[in-house]
Each structure stands twice: as structure tokens, then as C-alpha cells.
């Protein structure tokens, strides 16, 4: 990987697992359970100037990263619920780059950290109630096609690690 790719994908690019096994799902759900604390620890003690530093040239600021995680995971949670209550619904994509520029992304990160904590408590409770066959349900994404919940769970476990690493790797590079 190039240096830019390492900065963009500090935990590597998403690679879907070949199968969604019960053991793998337990690990992925645990990643979602731990994200709120890990993300809070990743930004702990950072000043506003540090939070407004991009994790790489041309990338989002750390503040935008935290708010993006809240936006993205809220959308994912709703999509899981839609998939469990409808037969392969078509979901609405959103422009995450445009969302990152909206005024609420200038709020202090504590607002989104609180949202992520509450959201993940509900999301994990929902996921832990699933039977194995529930992970075979899914939705239709207009840009990516059919997405089963086993694959989407793997994606959001990766997404959690990916964005936390954006913050922690910048902190390491800057010795913050």
C-alpha cells in the first residue's frame, strides 16, 4: 500500500469474510459494543485545535470523523431494523461527504459520543437477539446491490476499527 493508502486505510481496506460464522459474529458484535469507549478514549484530552486537524491531507478532521461515525452507524442501525421488518427493502443512500460539511459537524464531539453510546447499546441488544438465519436477511442498496446483514455486520465492525484508527494513528504521528 502507498503512504496515502496507509493513512486512508490504517487497518486495511474492508475485506468481507468468506462466511458469517457464529464465532465471527460474536467478535464483530463485541467490536460494536466496545466502539463507544474506544472512540471516547481515542479523542480524550484533545483540544479543539487538535480535533479540527485532518487525519491526513485532504481528509476529514478528527471532529468530522467522530460525527461521521454517529451518522453512519445511525443509518446502519435503521437499515438493520428495516431488514428485520421488511422483505429486502430498498434503502436510501446518503452523501456522507455532504453530511460532513453540515453545521452539526462543528458541535463538540461529546454530542456524537453520547449518541454513539446510546445507539450502540440498542444496536448490540438488537444483534444479540438475532437467530443465525436473521443474518441472512438484508436490504437492497441502490449503488451496491443486495447486502445481507452478516456482511453488513462485518463492514461496520471494520468501520469502527477503521475510523478509530484514523484518530489514534494521527495522535501517534503527532505525539499527542
Position 21 in a domain: no
Long-range contacts of 26-33 (CB under 8 A, 24+ apart): 27/157, 28/153, 28/154, 28/156, 28/157, 29/124, 29/127, 29/128, 29/153, 29/157, 31/157, 31/160, 31/161, 32/120, 32/123, 32/124, 32/127, 32/153, 32/156, 32/157, 32/160, 33/120, 33/124
Task: State the pLDDT at residue 2.
Answer: 82
Task: State the pLDDT at residue 33.
Answer: 98
Position 3 in a domain: no
Position 7 in a domain: no
Into how many domains does the chain fold?
1
Position 54 in a domain: yes
Position 169 in a domain: yes
Task: State the pLDDT at residue 112.
Answer: 98
Position 4 in a domain: no
Position 29 in a domain: no
Domain that holds residue 134: 45-174
Q: Tell me the pLDDT of the chain (176 aa) as tens digits.
A: 788 789 999 999 999 999 999 999 999 999 999 999 999 999 999 999 999 999 999 999 999 999 999 999 999 999 999 999 999 999 999 999 999 999 999 999 999 999 999 999 999 999 999 999 999 999 999 999 999 999 999 999 999 999 999 999 999 999 99
Position 108 in a domain: yes
CATH number where 166 lies: 1.20.120.450
Amino acid at each position: 500500500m502507498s503512504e496515502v493508502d496507509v493513512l486512508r486505510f490504517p487497518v486495511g481496506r474492508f475485506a468481507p469474510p468468506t462466511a458469517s460464522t457464529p464465532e465471527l459474529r460474536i467478535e464483530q458484535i463485541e467490536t460494536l459494543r466496545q466502539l463507544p469507549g474506544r472512540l471516547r478514549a481515542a479523542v480524550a484530552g484533545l483540544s479543539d485545535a487538535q480535533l479540527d486537524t485532518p487525519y491526513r491531507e485532504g481528509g476529514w478532521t478528527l471532529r468530522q470523523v467522530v460525527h461521521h461515525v454517529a451518522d453512519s452507524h445511525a443509518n446502519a442501525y435503521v437499515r438493520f431494523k428495516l431488514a428485520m421488518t421488511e422483505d429486502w427493502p430498498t434503502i436510501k443512500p446518503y452523501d456522507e461527504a455532504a453530511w460532513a460539511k453540515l453545521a452539526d459537524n462543528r458541535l463538540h464531539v461529546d454530542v456524537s459520543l453520547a449518541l454513539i453510546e446510546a445507539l450502540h447499546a440498542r444496536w448490540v441488544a438488537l444483534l444479540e437477539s438475532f437467530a443465525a438465519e436473521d443474518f441472512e436477511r438484508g436490504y437492497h442498496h441502490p449503488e451496491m446491490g443486495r447486502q445481507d446483514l452478516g456482511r453488513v455486520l462485518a463492514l461496520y465492525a471494520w468501520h469502527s476499527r477503521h475510523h478509530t484508527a484514523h484518530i489514534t494513528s494521527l495522535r501517534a504521528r503527532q505525539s499527542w
